Structure formats: structure tokens, C-alpha cells
Amino acid sequence: MAVALLALGAAWLIPPLLAARTAYEEVFVPDAPRPVVTVNPRGTPEVVMMPTEAPPPLPDWDRQERINLLLIGADTNSDRLEAGEPALSDTLIIVTIDPVSRQVGLLSIPRDLLVTIPGVGQDKINAAYSIGSLSELTGPGLARATVEYNFGITIHYFAQVDFEGFQRIIDTLGGVIIDVPAPLKDDAYPGEGFSYTRIYFHTGLQHMDGKTALRYARTRHDDNDFARANRQQQILLALREQAVARNLIANARELLVALSDTVRTDIPPLDLLKLAKLGTEIQPQDIHTYSILPATSVEWNPPGPYLLIPDWEAVHEIMGQMIPPEPAVAPEPTVSVRPPAAIQPI
């Protein structure tokens, strides 16, 4: 979400960010592993590592190519890690930016969506990050490969932030103002030590600090994953508007230093500069949100897992709305020239 904030309009943050050298080196990981999906002779998808000396081509914004980002909210809870459980991807959001039309699309992927994880098989999509984190593929690597394989798109970059980093972002920016549309109560919100706590949000405008905003973004027991995704996008867009309106450039260096151990991205710094420049030309009304809710159905047979079963044809139709196919280029018209008639002697 930190990098999405930059990508959607915070070009003013970049110079001071780059000045904080130590934090800069921790945040930017341009040599992150890049798994790609292949289909083996048995017809099963599997992942292989892309050679580091031959990375896939990235968007050349001088040619006005679309950029697709995968935003990852990682659950790296210390209690979970101490118990020997791998980190989870609590949030996955696809962000697509069209530099020509200056249009941005956001689509949240529900964590219970049943997908094919290349090299593993069918499982919930949030398992891809956990499985990848236990191998050389890395959590972001396998999560990106899984999204690419199932959603049929190329993910050019990833950006990851954990819960602690999310809170720090908001606290560093002075909190965030959110208009809560309906009362929200959760009696089973995750607490410390695998316990539960009760949370409640009343309707109307509220100023939230990082801890409160994280609770608002994560809760889902009073509604569902799709409503939770809407809340996460609401916070992301509110942060973007608030940062631009308040011209918070003075906090830029502090922000990077505060996030250096909680945020990771493989966007090269110079490309981030280009991405931020695009952000200055994007208007709030040109940021659109999408949902695959109409393309899913629930499957739950207790004590079995709760699953969202996708209709992939319908999912891909929604993806086509968010990322329209490139228009076909009409061939150049050919002109048939008739040879001149032979001149008859008089």
C-alpha cells in the first residue's frame, strides 16, 4: 500500500526518499526472484526461476505501456512466526495504470478464492505466499506467479507491506480520515497470542490512527471478504488524497526510515520516479475499483474450509473491463496502381 500511495500521485515524495540511503537499500529489492509459470508434459502448471541475468521486459513508459502492480499485505505476526507458522498474504490487490488515458484500476483478490497454485495444486490464494516463503520462490514470487497464471495478466512489479508497516504509514502521515458507511462490529477480531477481541465502528467521519485503521481494514466477521476489500481500497484512496492535499513532503524521509523494515518492492528507483511522475497526472475521478463478487460462489461444508469458487470465464470478463485488450491495428491500406496503357503508334 505504501508503494501504491506513491504510484497514485506522490511524486513529491521521491527525492527525500532516495536521500535516506540505508532505508532505501532495505526497501528496494530489484533483484527479487522472478518465478514464471510453465506447463509440463503432463499438462500441469509449475514454476521455474527466471535467470537473473535475463529478467522479463518491464514497461517502457516512454512508449506509454500499461503497468500492473501486485500489492501484498503480509501477516508477519510474531506470535505466528514463533509458533512455526509461515507468514500469510492477508491482502492482495491488483493495481493497473494506463499511462495513455491516465486511468487507474484496483481489484482486490479475496483470500479465500480457490485457485491453482503452480507446482502445488488447488488451494486458497493466500496459501501461495505462505508456500513460496518456505522456498527459493519467496512469498511475493509465488503469489505473483499464481495471480499471473489464474488471472491471465502480467504483474510487472510487487510491493509488500506488513501490518506494522501499515500502521506506521498512517501514523507518520498524521492518521487518516474515513467515512464509515454503516455500523461495524466484530466479536472475533484477532488479538494477541491467538486470542480474540471485540471491535466496533460507528457510522460517519472518523479520524483513525494506524492501529484503528488496521482493525477497520482487516475485520470481516460482520460482513465478508468483499466488504473488507472495499474498506482497504477506501483507506488507500483516502491516504492518497490526504497526502496530496496536505503536501506532506516534510515527512517523506521519516516515512521511508520508519518503513525500512516493513516494506519491500522490486520497483527499481528510477522506474519509481517515472511511476510517480505519472501519478501527478492522475485525477481522483480516474481511479476505478472493480470486484469479482458477481463471478464467485460460496462452498462451505463444515468442518471443511470456507471457499470462494470462481467462474473463471466471468472473472476474465471483469479483468477485460479493468484491462481492456489492446485495439487491433488496422493494416495500412494498399493502393492498386494500374500500369499505364501501352501507347499505340499513330
Q: pLDDT, tens digit, for every residue of 126-135?
A: 999 999 998 8
Q: Is 305 helix (H, G, I), strand (E, B) or coil?
A: coil
The more confidently predicted of residues 111 and 326 is 111
Check residue 64 and give its pLDDT. Answer: 80
- Tell me the pairing of strands 157-162 and 67-75: parallel
- Find which of 44-58, 214-228, 232-246 is predicted with most confidence, using mean pLDDT: 214-228
Mean pLDDT of the chain: 80
The total of other beta-carbon atoms located within 10 Å of residue 71's CB is 24
Cβ atoms of residues 35 and 51 within 8 Å? no
- The DSSP symbol for 57 reads P
Q: At what angle do helices 225-246 and 210-218 cross, to 10 degrees?
A: 150
Say which amino acid occupies 155: I
Check residue 341 and give its pLDDT. Answer: 43
Name the grid cell of 290.
Answer: 472493480
pTM value is 0.79
Residue range 255-309, pLDDT digits in tens = 666 667 778 888 887 776 677 667 667 888 999 999 999 999 999 888 888 899 9
Backbone angles phi, psi at 183, to 5 degrees: -60, 145
Check residue 30 and give its pLDDT. Answer: 67
